Structure 1
Amino acid sequence: MNVSFILLILLIGALATYTVGDKLASKVALLFGLVSLGASIVLLNQYNLGENIGFITEWISKPTIYFALKADGLALAMVLLTTALTPIIIYSSFGTEVNNAKTFYALILFMAFAMAGTFLAADGLLYYIFWELSLLPIYFIALVWGNGDAEERKKAVVKFFIYTLAGSLFMLVGFAYLYQKAGSLLIEDLYELNLSGAEQVWLFVGFFLAYAIKIPIIPFHTWQANVYQKAPTVGTMLLSGIMLKMGLYSVIRWQLPIVPWAAKGHVTIMLVLGIAGVIYGSIVALRQKDLKKLLAYSSLAHVGLIAAGAYTMTADGISGAVLQMIAHGFVVVGLFFIAEIIYRRYETRVIADMGGIRSQAPKFASLFLLIVLASVALPTTFNFIGEFTVLYSLSQVNIVFAILGGTTIILGAYYMLKMYQSVMLGETNTKPFADITINEGIVLVVIIAVLFFFGLYPKPIIQLIAPSIEGILNQINRIK
């Protein structure tokens, strides 16, 4: 079996989900999500046994384009994140009534298909196609099933679509130029190019615009908070848990190794932008009254630190960034699901309208607290491993960056614990709050189990990604 089977499972799953109708759509989607996760685990085992699970065949003869899928440890780690979170996200929606369910769940699986393809693609044009395909389902998910005023939602989603699409066009121009130089867009051929300094700078900027918008990095973040707020919770989970990781992964896989000289020349600027996102996101989160918006700006702060780690171009920085990408994916999905659980009971996301939930729902309060503690990088949690490694890498570049980057822990602890206090403690809301259901509990327990297991034992992931990161660093350091 090779990695193309994962894409086939997700694509067939999307078609099957749409075909079976609204009544069975959620269950069929969950089934295919779990099958894709099982296939990912099987492929991981084959990879660990030394088998070649990549796939390549000529797709287009003129220009020469390959349907090439690269299955190294880094790509597999991101595919595992995608296939693990997809069934969790689907299952988390079971407590919400969805109109036109067959289309809704089919779009989720199709988006997972496109995101997995982005992580696996080893040809520039194929990668670009998957990158753009992932934008279509989230556009319709947010537009059709989103929250709030329809006109405001439309403005936010259209801005996101146009903004992201426009940024990606710069990357497409970069690939067109690279094809003229290499005669191929296979990633190995692009790595072999000996580009001039001026060429690298222009290509670096082109790729950066696409990735900075997707991640997002300050000052290209203006679409994020509104879309996170307006999208349905499932859409917000897909965006924050998986889709933004496409940009971070692409920095490591595509941008840094192809234009290493330009990347090294702009290290300080990239680190400043990343750290600025940490500080800005944390300060704005402190002022939020809407729970989803607070979590959106919290996410902005965390991904700013991840981006900074990647741009250190050190083994610790890139390794820490990948670890934190995976940890952040699980934490942020858990936090947005908690916001959804509260909304199901109170029908509000305004923090001031909440309070006293702990006295009515002690099980929910305990699980909520564990995810909050993971979010603020409590030792023994997965986030601590990633954040500590990234901060250590920043200290190797400049201790000031490490100190400023550490504000994400201090400020994050303050606004997250303050939010928890406002939502869960204090005076009891006049509306009753039922404790979590079995389905809701399963989702939260699975997420918490992952966060604490890899917080105590991150070795399997570190060993999985280490060879890929070493190869990328060798590629980056080929130009001194």
Structure 2
Amino acid sequence: MDVSIILILLLAGTLVTLFSGKAAGKVALAFGLLALGASVALLTKFNAHQNIGCLGVWMENPQIYFALNGDGLSLAMVLLTTSLLPIIMYSTFGSEVKNPSSFYALILFMGFAMVGTFLAADGFLYYIFWELALIPIYFIALNWGNGDAKERQKAVVKFFIYTFAGSLFMLASFAYLYTKAGNFLIGNLSALSLSADEQFWIFLGFFAAYAIKIPLIPFHTWQAAVYQKAPTAGTMLLSGIMLKMGLYSVLRWQLPIAPYAAKTFMTIFIVFGIAGTIYGSIVALRQKDLKKLLAYSSLAHVGLIAAGAYTLTVDGLRGAVLQMISHGFVIVGLFFAAEVIFRRYQTREISEMGGIRVQAPKFTSMFMILVLASVALPSTFNFVGEFTVLYGLSSINIWFPILGGLTIILGAYYMLKMFQNVMLGEANPKPFADITFQEGLTMGVIIAVLFFFGLYPKPIVDMITPSIEQILSYTHKL
């Protein structure tokens, strides 16, 4: 078995689901679980010092390879994707979905493209998967989103243009690198001896694509509107997995290919990340819409992840990867909790909520655990990632973890304040039924993952560390 089996399952699932009619949701979930099973099976054969992959010539001129590489870093991101896909699809079973065959087929196709992005070891192949992931989320947000149709279309088109335009700079960088290496294989591109000026422009070309996708300020202006207008499943895909494509790509492509530029401008890009952390937290404090509050909370967390990724230290990069994975589960759980409330109240305005605790104690307890996990309570997965990132930042400048740590303080304030306004207070006259079995299982699985890896992160740490050390070896040669 090689890594291509996951892509085959997701693509086959897309085609079968498209013709499954009313059974589309269950069929898509079955293929999602098969992809997860294949990912776990691959992990049982994983050796930190011997990658799992496949390589074959795709085109002769230009020389393009169908090259997939499954090292610890890429397999960790694949496992995140294949774990969240079934959770996201299962979470929709409590809502009515129009044209379910197209909806679930697009989700699986997006999973196929994101897994391909994480596995691709040829720059051109990577670019194709990168762009393919944009197509399904565009239609998911446009056709199944909420709110005014014109406003939704405006938000989605802005997102598409932003991300597509940024990706063109990355494509131009790959085209230039091809003239130097004669192919797009990541090993050959990373081995190039580029001048300082060449690295600078290559670094910025990649940054244009990644900063928009993550997003980092000031490239974030598309995020809140799209998160708010997209259906909850679309928001989960964007926040839980898709933004990780940009963060992962910083580590996989940007740092090894342009290490001199990364080292020279390290402080600037750490400041970019920390600024996003502070900005996202402050803006979240002022939000009255629950989904927008969670969107800015996500912006704050990914800013800290990006800062860790640019530290060029083992602890910084390791913490960034741990935080990527933990953030994926936490934010998906929080957006699902917001969806549970919307199903009962048909509103996302925080001022119209309150008193839920009296009517739904089980839901309140689960929501509280997710809130505490979001603010990095010790024993939860987020704490492991954030602590490691801050430790990595401290080796660069002591002010970086002090400023970056504001996300924990501010995050605790606005998340607990949100919880108080949404869940506590006098009983709301609107009836609020406690969670169903399907809703409880969705939240319960996420909570179990957050506690398990919060208490025992060693399996993931052992898996990703050799890959991180390999990435940093390019910067140590300078």
| TM-score, normalisation: structure 1 | 0.99
Which residue is equivalent to 2:2? 2
3-state DSSP of counterpart to 2:465: helix
Is 1:331 aligned to residue 330 of structure 2? yes
Following superposition of structure 1 onto structure 2, how do residues 307-326 of structure 1 map, counting pairs within 5 Å? 307-326=306-325
Is 1:11 aligned to residue 11 of structure 2? yes
3-state DSSP of counterpart to 1:433: coil
- Rounded Cα–Cα distance in structure 2 between residues aligned with 1:401 and 1:466: 23
Following superposition of structure 1 onto structure 2, how do residues 360-375 of structure 1 map, counting pairs within 5 Å? 360-375=359-374
Partner letter of residue 42 of structure 1?
A: A
3-state DSSP of counterpart to 1:147: coil
Cα distance change on mapping 1:274 and 1:19 into 2, 3 Å = same
CA deviation string 1:358-401 (max 9, x = no partner): 00000000000001000000000000000000001111100111
Percent identity of paired positions between Structure 1 and Structure 2 = 73
- Rounded Cα–Cα distance in structure 2 between residues aligned with 1:91 and 1:220: 32
- Rounded Cα–Cα distance in structure 1 between residues aligned with 2:47 and 2:311: 29
Partner letter of residue 112 of structure 2?
A: F
- Rounded Cα–Cα distance in structure 2 between residues aligned with 1:69 and 1:180: 22
Partner letter of residue 190 of structure 1?
A: L
- Rounded Cα–Cα distance in structure 1 between residues aligned with 2:321 and 2:68: 20
Following superposition of structure 1 onto structure 2, how do residues 324-363 of structure 1 map, counting pairs within 5 Å? 324-363=323-362
How many Å apart are 1:20 and its aligned residue?
A: 1.3
- Rounded Cα–Cα distance in structure 2 between residues aligned with 1:427 and 1:204: 54
CA deviation string 1:116-166 (max 9, x = no partner): 000000000000000000000000000000010000000000000000000
How many Å apart are 1:449 and its aligned residue?
A: 0.3
3-state DSSP of counterpart to 2:52: coil
Partner letter of residue 283 of structure 2?
A: V
For the Cα contact (< 8 Å) 2:49–2:466, is it kept in 1? no
- Rounded Cα–Cα distance in structure 2 between residues aligned with 1:263 and 1:441: 44
Is 1:260 aligned to residue 269 of structure 2? no
Which residue is equivalent to 1:421? 420
Which residue is equivalent to 1:228? 227
Which residue is equivalent to 1:436? 435
Which residue is equivalent to 2:105? 106
How many Å apart are 1:321 and its aligned residue?
A: 0.1
How many Å apart are 1:478 and its aligned residue?
A: 1.4
For the Cα contact (< 8 Å) 2:48–2:72, is it kept in 1? no
Partner letter of residue 88 of structure 2?
A: I
- Rounded Cα–Cα distance in structure 1 between residues aligned with 2:427 and 2:139: 38
How many Å apart are 1:476 and its aligned residue?
A: 2.1
- Rounded Cα–Cα distance in structure 2 between residues aligned with 1:454 and 1:426: 33
- Rounded Cα–Cα distance in structure 1 between residues aligned with 2:472 and 2:267: 18
How many Å apart are 1:327 and its aligned residue?
A: 0.1
Which residue is equivalent to 1:193? 192
CA deviation string 1:18-62 (max 9, x = no partner): 0111x1000000000000000000001111497753011000110
Which residue is equivalent to 1:43? 42
Following superposition of structure 1 onto structure 2, how do residues 31-430 of structure 1 map, counting pairs within 5 Å? 31-48=30-47, 53-430=52-429
Partner letter of residue 477 of structure 2?
A: R
How many Å apart are 1:435 and its aligned residue?
A: 0.1
- Rounded Cα–Cα distance in structure 2 between residues aligned with 1:218 and 1:199: 25
For the Cα contact (< 8 Å) 2:288–2:349, is it kept in 1? yes
The runs of at least 4 aligned residues of structure 1 exceeding 6 Å deviation read none
Which residue is equivalent to 2:28? 29
- Rounded Cα–Cα distance in structure 2 between residues aligned with 1:269 and 1:397: 12
- Rounded Cα–Cα distance in structure 1 between residues aligned with 2:49 and 2:31: 27
CA deviation string 1:422-479 (max 9, x = no partner): 0000122221000000000000000000000000000000000011011111122211
3-state DSSP of counterpart to 1:54: strand
Partner letter of residue 5 of structure 1?
A: I
For the Cα contact (< 8 Å) 2:50–2:71, is it kept in 1? no
- Rounded Cα–Cα distance in structure 2 between residues aligned with 1:216 and 1:85: 20
- Rounded Cα–Cα distance in structure 2 between residues aligned with 1:378 and 1:334: 16
How many Å apart are 1:197 and its aligned residue?
A: 0.4
- Rounded Cα–Cα distance in structure 2 between residues aligned with 1:246 and 1:206: 16
3-state DSSP of counterpart to 2:470: helix
3-state DSSP of counterpart to 1:476: helix
- Rounded Cα–Cα distance in structure 2 between residues aligned with 1:49 and 1:223: 38
- Rounded Cα–Cα distance in structure 2 between residues aligned with 1:188 and 1:428: 61
Partner letter of residue 386 of structure 2?
A: E
Partner letter of residue 361 of structure 1?
A: A
The count of corresponding residues between Structure 1 and Structure 2 is 478
3-state DSSP of counterpart to 1:68: strand
For the Cα contact (< 8 Å) 2:380–2:455, is it kept in 1? yes
Cα distance change on mapping 1:399 and 1:48 into 2, 3 Å = same
CA deviation string 1:400-436 (max 9, x = no partner): 1110000000000000000000000012222100000
Cα distance change on mapping 1:49 and 1:130 into 2, 3 Å = closer
- Rounded Cα–Cα distance in structure 1 between residues aligned with 2:46 and 2:279: 41
Structure 2: gaps of 5 or more residues: none
For the Cα contact (< 8 Å) 2:28–2:105, is it kept in 1? yes
- Rounded Cα–Cα distance in structure 2 between residues aligned with 1:201 and 1:296: 32
For the Cα contact (< 8 Å) 2:48–2:71, is it kept in 1? no
How many Å apart are 1:104 and its aligned residue?
A: 0.2
Partner letter of residue 9 of structure 2?
A: I
- Rounded Cα–Cα distance in structure 1 between residues aligned with 2:278 and 2:29: 38
| TM-score, normalisation: structure 2 | 0.99
3-state DSSP of counterpart to 2:443: helix
For the Cα contact (< 8 Å) 2:291–2:348, is it kept in 1? yes
- Rounded Cα–Cα distance in structure 1 between residues aligned with 2:217 and 2:284: 15
